């Protein structure tokens, strides 16, 4: 019995793609199966083995490069991130903007009082009329 050369595996730094030989209606095609950066299986079909192999090699390398730009959150981290995004939605502030505000405010307050305490103090202060001028 002759053993088939398929499926073939293409691997690059831990990311894999599989190439399958499919025979349908008298035609051969080559199917590349790979999991994208979101962990979702993707399938691509080619007419030649060479095209399938070239695509598989390029794809696993691209996924490896792009993987560095992704962060995977699980469990409690996912829930907390979703809650923060929901809470920030009415403010039109991005998470990074809020982090910068908190860090800069803490620096200005020299860690002595909290940002919320400073905001409450500011709100409780009497307002000066717009026409009020200070003496220099």
Q: Categorize the per-residue pLDDT at 136 as very low, low, confident or very high, splitting at 50, 70 and 90.
A: low
Give the residue with greater pLDDT, 31 vs 117: 31
Q: What is the pLDDT of residues 26-74, one digit of tens each?
A: 889 999 999 887 778 999 999 999 999 999 999 999 888 887 777 777 8
Count of other CB atoms within 10 angstroms of residue 87: 10
pLDDT at 1 exceeding the cut of 50: no
């Amino acid at each position: 019995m002759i053993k088939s050369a398929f499926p073939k595996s293409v691997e690059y730094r831990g990311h894999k793609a599989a190439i399958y030989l499919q025979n349908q209606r008298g035609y051969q095609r080559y199917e590349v199966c790979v999991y994208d950066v979101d962990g979702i299986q993707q399938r691509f079909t080619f007419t030649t083995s060479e095209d399938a192999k070239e695509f598989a090699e390029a794809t696993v390398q691209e996924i490896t490069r792009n993987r560095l730009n992704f962060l995977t959150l699980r469990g409690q981290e996912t829930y907390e991130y979703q809650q923060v995004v929901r809470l920030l939605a009415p403010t039109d502030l991005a998470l990074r903007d809020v982090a910068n505000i908190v860090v800069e405010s803490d620096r200005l307050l020299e860690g002595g009082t909290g940002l919320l305490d400073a905001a409450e103090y500011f709100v409780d202060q009497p307002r000066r009329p717009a026409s009020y001028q200070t003496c220099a």
